[in-house]
Amino acid sequence: MTTTLITGANKGLGFETARRLVAAGHTVHVGARDAERGRRAADELGARFVQIDVTDDTSVEAAAKTLEAAGGLDVLINNAGVETRTEDNGVPVAATVTADQMRTTFETNVFGVVRVLHAFLPLLQRSAAPVVVNVSSGLGSLTHLSDPDHPAHFYPGVAYPTSKTAVNMLTVQYAKAFPAMRINSVEPGFTKTDLNGNTGTQTVAEGAEIIVRMAQVAPDGPTGGFFDAKGPLPW
C-alpha cells in the first residue's frame, strides 16, 4: 500500500491529484492549513486529513509525527503554493514588486518546500520506493522566460517565477543528495485555480495529469528532472 501526502490538497490541483491517487489505490493524506476545509475535502475523497501549514515549523513537525504514527510515507507532493495578486488580479511587476511580496511568496513556495522535505525525509528514507513531486511552473524555466518567441516570455511578474526557479534548483540538489529517491519538478500548465484568479485555460483534471504520473514513477524512473504532460522541460 502506497501512502501519499499532498500539501494544499483541499482544493484545486491538490484536490484533483488526491482524487486520482485515491482511485489508484493510494492511502492519501490531504494536507491543508484550514482544518474544517481539509476534513471536508478528505471526507469527500475518501482520504485522510492532516493539518499542515508549510510556513510553520511546529505545524509541519506535528504533521510528520502524525504520518509516522500512521505508518510512514512513500510519496510526498509539495503542492501548496501562492502567487501574489493585485486588486485587479494582476501581478506585481519589476517596477512595483517589493521585498515583502517576494518574502511572502518564498515563504510558502520555497521555504515551505524545504521545511516539509526536512521534516519528512526520515520517513521517506524508510520507504521501499520513495517519491517526491515538487509542483513547479513553466514560469520557472529560465530558458522559456528569456526566449522572446515563447509565450511565457510575456509574463511580467517577478516573485512567482523566481520562486519556481528556486523550486527547480531544490529538485536538482535534493535529487543528487538522495539518489535512492525519485525527486522531480512538474509543470501542470496554466490551470484554472484560485491561485491565478481562475484565469487559467486548463481544467484541474488536465493540470493534475503530470502530478499524478510523476507521483507513481517507478524506482528506476527519472529523477532530478523537470516535466510537463508532454515530457522534459528546459531549466
Question: What are φ and ψ of residue 14, in 5° steps?
Answer: -65, -40
Residue 17 has pLDDT above 60, yes or no: yes
Burial level of 101, CB count in 10 A (0-12/13-18/19+)? middle
User: What's the average model confidence in pLDDT over 217-227?
Assistant: 98
- Asked whether residue 46 carries a pLDDT value surpassing 90, the answer given is yes
Q: Indicate whether 34 pLDDT > 60.
A: yes
**pLDDT of residue 154 exceeding 80:** yes
pLDDT at 182 over 60: yes
The reply to whether 174 belongs to the active site is: no
Radius of gyration of the chain (CA): 17
Q: Which cell numbers hold the place of 104?
A: 511572502
Q: Out of 10-14, 47-51, 197-201, which region has the weakest mean confidence (pLDDT)?
A: 197-201
What pLDDT, on a 0 to 100 scale, did the predictor assign at position 88? 85
pLDDT, averaged across the chain: 95
Check residue 201 and give its pLDDT. Answer: 57
Of 138, 180, 179, nearest in space to 160 by CA: 138
- Mark whether 164 is an active-site residue: yes
Is the pTM value of this prediction over 0.85?
A: yes
pLDDT at 195 > cutoff 70? no
* Mean pLDDT on 78-102: 93
Q: Which of 160, 174, 192, 230 is catalytic?
A: 160
Q: What is the pLDDT of residue 189?
A: 85
Residue 107: band (very low, low, confident or very high) from pLDDT cuts 50, 70, 90: very high
Mean pLDDT for the stretch of residues 207-229? 97
How far is residue 22's CA from residue 48's CA, in Å, rounded to a whole number? 10
Identified catalytic residue from 11, 65, 155, 164? 164
Average pLDDT over residues 85-95: 89
In this predicted structure, what is the pLDDT of residue 13?
Answer: 95
Give the pLDDT of residue 194. Answer: 63
pLDDT band with cut points at 50, 70 and 90 for residue 31: very high
Across the range 210-216, mean pLDDT stands at 98
**What pLDDT shows up at residue 14?**
96
Please tell me the predicted confidence (pLDDT) of residue 9: 97
In the block, residue with C-alpha cell 481539509 = 38
